[in-house]
């Protein structure tokens, strides 16, 4: 009897101990969490027209115990998030996109903001930053095609390379007195970084000046040089292009390891997206038995990204009527799955990736009410 009473004690102790450890780890400061989210996928990858990042912020300090993931933040999803004690909602699509002139109870998006602030819930949206990211939405969508190699259709550019400014001005100065005047003048212009090195021109030792500057600063530099032509020679003005990021960008062009019939590809896509139906436009001269080797895809709305891309198949959520006609006329098959159906499944992968990235410091849960509005 004594031994049977004693045996459960270690189990109970371990259980209580694990609860204590779990509760002590299960929160993050909002600012620290935002920094970690940006490390996971930089907001600099987002398109310039997009509205990404922290959209609603409770008064600081704000700690996050539960991160709630959804593709679209509707009122129904907000109610679910509040019931599940969310501290931060990560909504893939930004619920605030166009500027709001007032916050009242009249429209559903205004009501979302009111409910979030009243309940101290932050709202964060990554949108096209996650589209472009190497481990993002388009990469997930490509997984449903089968074994393939892929690259972005429109690669992103490195955000902070090679240097500040987008123009470089280089010229030679031959005399010390002229060099002092030039250096003094250009250093007085804002948004200009200056370097110099020795150069030889027409058997004469000279100093080569290199200026990196913004568009605005460039005009001031050119104005100075045009008024002091006697001070310099051998001038070049270069436009600095940021290098492309090979695995980051909009859309994916996927080349299958082995060709498959269009019918087989349709089955794969339906299985991956868990759909019973898709919409299909057959390219001119194509049938369900036509072979598919190259697939161009874009999660969400693909018209702009896919336009002009050579492929056997376009895969996206939605395209305009006339863009579909254009593609089909070129013999390109088009599969449409509705906008958010090409995005929502990524959230399950995202939950696992963020759990690992954040070292399981917070709870991460998926919305169960979020769904595409078209059935």
Which residues are 173's β-sheet partners?
A: 207
The helix/strand count (H/E) of the chain reads as 13, 19
Please give the structure tokens belonging to residue 77: 């999803």
Please check if 267 is assigned to a binding site: no
The CA distance from 270 to 34, in Å, is 34
Phi, psi (deg, nearest 5) at residue 278: -130, 170
Q: Does 93 count as an annotated binding residue?
A: yes
Nearest to 121 by CA among 39, 59, 164, 198: 59
Residue 339 among known ligand-binding residues: yes
Helix (H, G, I), strand (E, B) or coil at 232: coil
CA distance to 119, 136, 161, 308, 341, per residue, from 123 (Å): 12, 20, 30, 36, 22
Spell 43-67 as b/e; 16+ CB within 10 A means b: bebbeeebbbbbbbbbeeebbbebb
The phi-psi region of residue 251 (left if phi > 0; otherwise alpha if psi is between -120 and 50; otherwise beta) is left
272 is in an annotated binding site: no
Burial class (CB in 10 A: 0-12, 13-18, 19+), 299: buried
345 and 273 Cβ atoms separated by less than 8 Å: yes
- C-alpha 173/C-alpha 211 separation (Å) is 13
CB half-sphere exposure, 215, CA atoms < 13 A: 0
Measured between alpha carbons, how far is residue 194 from residues 221, 224, 307, 321, 363 in Å? 12, 15, 42, 53, 49
Looking at the DSSP bridge assignments, the partners of residue 67 are 88, 364
H-helix or E-strand spanning residue 347: helix 346-357
d(CA 174, CA 145): 62
Q: Are 191 and 213 in contact (CB under 8 A)?
A: yes
| Binding-site sequence positions for a divalent metal cation | 93, 131, 339, 343
| Binding-site sequence positions | 93, 131, 339, 343
């Amino acid at each position: 009897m004594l031994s049977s009473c004693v045996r459960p004690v270690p189990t109970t102790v371990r259980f209580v101990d694990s609860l204590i450890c779990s509760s002590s780890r299960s929160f993050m400061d909002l600012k620290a969490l935002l920094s970690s989210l940006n490390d996971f996928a930089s907001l600099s990858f987002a398109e310039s027209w997009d509205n990404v990042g922290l959209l609603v912020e409770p008064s600081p300090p704000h700690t996050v115990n539960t991160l709630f993931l959804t593709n679209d933040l509707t009122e129904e999803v907000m109610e679910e998030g509040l019931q599940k004690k969310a501290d931060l909602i990560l909504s893939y699509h930004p619920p605030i996109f166009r500027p709001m002139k007032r916050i009242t109870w009249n429209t559903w998006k205004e009501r979302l903001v009111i409910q979030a602030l009243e309940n101290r819930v932050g709202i964060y949206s990554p949108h096209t930053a996650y589209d472009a990211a190497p481990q993002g939405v388009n990469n997930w969508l490509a997984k449903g095609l089968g074994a393939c190699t892929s690259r972005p259709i429109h690669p992103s550019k490195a955000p902070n390379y090679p240097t500040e400014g987008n123009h470089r001005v280089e010229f030679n100065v031959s005399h010390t007195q002229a060099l002092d005047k030039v250096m003094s003048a250009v250093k007085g212009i804002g948004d200009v970084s200056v370097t110099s090195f020795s150069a030889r021109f027409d058997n004469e030792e000279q100093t080569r000046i290199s200026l990196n500057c913004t568009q605005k600063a460039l005009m001031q530099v050119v104005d100075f040089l045009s008024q002091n032509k006697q001070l310099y020679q051998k001038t070049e003005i270069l436009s600095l292009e940021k290098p492309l990021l090979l695995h980051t960008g909009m859309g994916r062009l996927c080349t299958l390891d082995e060709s498959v019939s269009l019918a087989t590809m349709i089955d794969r896509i339906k299985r991956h997206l868990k759909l019973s139906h898709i919409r299909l436009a057959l390219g001119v001269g194509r049938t369900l038995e036509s072979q598919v080797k190259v697939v161009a895809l874009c999660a969400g709305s693909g018209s702009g990204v896919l336009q002009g891309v050579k492929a056997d198949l376009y895969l996206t959520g939605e395209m305009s009527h006339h863009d579909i006609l254009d593609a089909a006329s070129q013999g390109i098959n088009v599969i449409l799955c509705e906008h958010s159906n090409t995005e929502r499944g990524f959230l399950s992968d995202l939950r696992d990736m963020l759990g690992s990235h954040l070292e399981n410091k917070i709870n991460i849960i998926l919305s169960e009410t979020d769904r595409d509005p078209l059935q």
